[in-house]
Amino acid sequence: MSLIVQKYGGSSVANPERIMRVAQRIVKRKQAGNDVIAVVSAMGDTTDELVKLVADITNKPPKREYDMLISTGEQVSVSLLAMAINELGEDVISLTGSQVGIITNELHSKAKILEIKNNRLEKELNEGKIVIVAGFQGVTINNEITTLGRGGSDTTAVAVATALKADLCEIYTDVDGVYTTDPRVVKKASKLPEISYEEMLELASLGANVLHPRSVEIAKEYNIKLAVKSSFYCCPGTYIKEVEELENNIVVSGVACNKSEVKLSLLGLPDRPGIASKVFNRLAGEGVNVDMIIQNVNYDGVNDITFTIDEDDFNGTKELLEEMKESLEYRELIYDLEVAKVSIVGAGMVTNPGVAAKMFEALAQEEVNIGMISTSEIKVSCLINRSEADKAVKAIHAKFNLDKIGER
Ligand code: ADP
Ligand code: ASP
Ligand code: MG
């Protein structure tokens, strides 16, 4: 008997008809002789609506209360799905993150799972039940509700699969796999039958929100078999594997775009040891993830440092840096809220010179200006104007012939 963990995203459970369809899919898997745990997101745009409600009350919500609120969507969907499965005559139970024992750290809104106490899950499975788990949420050791970051139900699924040593973790969503770029932006994007953990981790971290980055990180670390599939059609999907298991080694596998970063610059910082450490240690202490960083050449004993962060962290970071103006002795803080980061990812990049140049050429041909660049062995990212992001993604996708990837 195999243990399968499935995850259904918001669009897959957006209304009662879809919930019934998901219930049928789960029951079919169970009746084929498998143990099934299904992790579920909130229905449709529920979480977005909850976030909007907050904005009507305050732009500085207490972090604990924010998580109390935005975790509620999943409690609705798990219970409805359990009722649907019950209607189909199968034994089922729905559980919240805290009932399962998904223990996280205290970092509200981007908490990390520390441990899953799997005795409750094992008990319910041993009693022959299908178990439905609320995604996206956990609980601290002090019994406070936390959430794992937007899109975090994928991570719940992979973490549950890891804790119970599941045979397979399937992520069911509104696309039938991982594409060379977001198929909503580029109609001609190609579906990838397989991709390495490393490339998928980069794509997800760089904005391909088909998978939550942390879910890929955990799957890679614990070697969990992971697949992305459509919850609407029956087709093979995309398998995420070790690079050695791939049939083809593609130079560039995909283009990702992140439209939720903002750029800040500290101008006229004193050019002496310890200044960058002071800035970034303080931000790290507040749980702010800093992404791209550049420091320009020293002039007259001062430097400028420019960096990008997630837009959700903007208000807090701005306030913090303004408070630190005297101690950091910088001249001015400026920011740009209208930036986007476009990136290419590919494991074969490191052995193929000229890949970055080709990306820059695609942007130049569209007259897109590059503000910042960062690279690693398997990715190149450029910060550009947000209004030009879709045009840039299309141009880069075409430049690398990614619409023909299936033909290679
Ligand atoms: P769910 O609610 O099921 O978790 P998401 O909206 O989080 O679904 O993720 C699926 C969406 O991810 C797709 O509808 C698609 O627009 C987007 N997406 C972005 N990049 C990619 C990509 N490279 N391949 C497939 N989908 C992508
Ligand atoms: N419902 C949460 C969100 O919208 C978690 C998820 O969908 O994975 O971000
Ligand atoms: Mg998602």
In Å, what is the CA distance from 344 to each residue of 53, 172, 198, 217, 385?
Answer: 36, 25, 13, 19, 17
Q: Residue 157 maps to which CATH number?
A: 3.40.1160.10
Quote the number of domains for the chain. 1
Q: What is the mean pLDDT of residues 231-249?
A: 83
Q: Could you tell me what percent of the chain has a pLDDT over 90?
A: 89
22 Cβ contact list (under 8 Å, min separation 6)? 8, 12, 13, 38, 40, 81, 84, 172, 231
Report if residue 60 sits inside a domain.
yes
Q: What is the mean pLDDT of residues 313-339?
A: 96
User: What is the radius of gyration, based on Cα positions, of the chain?
Assistant: 22
Q: Distance of alpha carbon 257 from its chain centroid, rounded?
A: 12
Contacts 24+ apart (CB under 8 A), 83-86: 84/16, 84/19, 84/20, 84/22, 84/23, 85/23, 85/26, 85/27, 85/130, 85/132
Q: What is the mean pLDDT of residues 257-286?
A: 95
Pocket of ligand 2 (CB under 6 A): 9-10, 41-42, 47, 73, 135-136, 150-153
Question: Ligand 1 centre and the CA of 280: distance in Å?
Answer: 31
CA distance 97 to 149: 14
For residue 343, the cross-strand partners are 256, 381
For residue 332, the cross-strand partners are 267
Longest CA–CA separation in the chain, Å: 77
The neighbourhood of ligand 3, an ion, using CB within 5 A, equals 9, 151
Report if residue 36 sits inside a domain.
yes
Structural domain range at position 69: 3-174
> What is the reported pTM?
0.93
Q: pLDDT band at residue 408, thresholds of 50, 70 and 90?
A: very low
Report if residue 216 sits inside a domain.
no
Atom nearest to 11 CA in ligand 1: 2
Report if residue 126 sits inside a domain.
yes
pLDDT at 371: 95
Report if residue 265 sits inside a domain.
no
Q: Ligand 2, from 13, 47, 78, 210: best to mutate by most atoms within 8 Å of Cβ?
A: 47
Report if residue 71 sits inside a domain.
yes
Atom nearest to 47 CA in ligand 2: 4
Report if residue 202 sits inside a domain.
no
CA distance 151 to 10: 9
Q: What is the mean pLDDT of residues 206-233?
A: 96
Report if residue 167 sits inside a domain.
yes
What's the pLDDT tens digit per position in 76-126? Answer: 999 999 999 999 999 999 999 999 999 999 999 999 999 999 899 999 999
CA distance 70 to 76: 12
